[in-house]
Amino acid sequence: MKVIIIFFPLVTAFFITLILGPVTIPFLKRLKFGQHIREQGPKRHLTKAGTPTMGGIIIILSLILTSFFFGKYNKDLILILGITLGFGLIGFIDDFLKIALKRALGLRANQKIICQLILATLLVYYGTLYLEKDISLKIPFSGFLVNLGVYFIPFSVFVIIGTVNSVNLTDGLDGLLAGITVIISSAYTFIGVINQNYNLVIFSSALTGAAVGFLVFNRYPAQVFMGDTGSLAIGGALASMAVLTKTQLYLPVFGFIFVLETLSVILQVISYRFFGKRIFKMSPLHHHFELMGWSEPAVVFLFWCITLISVTIGLISYFYI
């Protein structure tokens, strides 16, 4: 039964993505939803200008179809899908404004954060009901539990918004985020199986299958980019799974590469603003490696390996410490 509940959603999502890709990519091309490449970025990326973006629609549709087919409209599954779709919708609007309407900045920063706050608060509020008031979180590498009490909701909201935006920052190289998603969502599938949370298993295995399928079109050289539509949706999906498994404190471990990418941006800004010097050749971190002469596939493979190691360490800590 466990094998079936993992295998069938994964394979179904994979093949749905494979079917949707050849239909969606030409459609995005006809709409001229091509990626705009910043001139300040690595020069080799200029050749990617015009590559269809907003391909995250493929992942979202695959998730919806697979989850509803196997999950039988379970309320927990609907919540995760709703949050994922909500964050994906924010990304879609942002992409649409930037690409279709040629508004350079897309949604304003305050508009994004308000929408994200609403979704994150809804997720955490439901999470407290789902957890039946047990809001203790396990501290990684310690075995200790911490009850945050009244701070549980603001802390979790902070983690969710931080995760979503860190994931968004990481989506900068062909196949990078899709591959990382495969690894982390596989970890949540394992957690779901061990904890007998089969709604989580259905969703996480479907996300794994959709991400693997998307890699067929998104690997170097990419035929399509997921855009903010996909990256924000994936961030919402990972955050949702963390809240419903009480692993908010493990997200920085599982997504260690997200932490590195975000820190590189923060440190770069602080260093340049206060000292007039750059720590990295360019941020986020993946661009730094590119400007050091690494090929794009080499950087992607390195970051996948780092994620595999951090996820393995996180799972060992979760189950055995």
β-strand 145-147 against 136-138: which pairing, if any?
A: antiparallel
Asked if residue 199 belongs to a known ligand binding site, the reply is no
Sign of CA dihedral 112, 290, 178, 308: negative
**What are the structure tokens assigned to 41, written together?**
């970025």
CA separation, residue 160 to residues 82, 175, 242 (Å): 15, 23, 9
The enclosing H or E element of 138 equals: strand 136-138
CB count, 10 Å around CB of 144? 11
Q: Kindly write down the DSSP assignment for every residue of 190-247, as one continuous string.
A: HHHHHTT-HHHHHHHHHHHHHHHHHHHHHSSSPS---HHHHHHHHHHHHHHHHHHTT-
Q: Cβ neighbours of residue 27 under 8 Å, at least 6 residues apart?
A: none
**What are the structure tokens assigned to 231, written together?**
């990256």
Spatial distance between the Cα atoms of 257 and 311, rounded to a whole number of angstroms: 10
Asked if residue 228 belongs to a known ligand binding site, the reply is yes
* Feature table: binding site for Mg(2+): 168, 228
* Feature table: binding site: 168, 228
